[in-house]
Structure 1
Amino acid sequence: MTSRSGTLEYKQANKIRKEFMGAPSQFKATTDEIRSVLIVLQDADVAYPNQEPSADQKRDLEDIDKGCRNVLDEL
């Protein structure tokens, strides 16, 4: 299994987070949301570093991936 830190979603979230780091306080909610997406992606990478997830785990990861994409698309 490949590292999620190389996925498009991770790269996109990290890019957006860096752009908002110095933003005014009204963007804090956006920064917090992006940080949450990054944490989810990093947790998935730690949970399945060198193993293929089961069918149930894949389904769960696909749901997580979809949720992360939705958050990033809204931003």
Structure 2
Amino acid sequence: MAATSQPGPTRRSAVRLWRPRRALSTEEHEVPDTAALNAVLAGATDAVMRAIVKAVRAAEGFDGPGGVFPAYGDLY
């Protein structure tokens, strides 16, 4: 019994799968609450900022093949 291979989707048909069925601009949508979105984005900004500051302050300097690389805490 010989196995027959079925051709896979062509590039054109594969691209067609990712296209939306109708344009988003033609649908009726509610206007999103931008104040709530801004509050979430501000909270995310604060969290990222605190994580970066914590990582910079916890970093340690090291001696590498290119020389001495001091950390922020070693300098200030």
TM-score interval (norm. to shorter): 0.3 to 0.5
- The structure with the larger Rg is 2
Q: Larger % of helix: which?
A: 1
Q: Larger % of strand: which?
A: 2
Looking at both structures, which has the greater relative contact order when contacts are Cα pairs under 8 Å and sequence separation is at least 6? 1
Query: Structure 2 length as normaliser, TM-score?
Result: 0.33
Query: Structure 1 length as normaliser, TM-score?
Result: 0.34
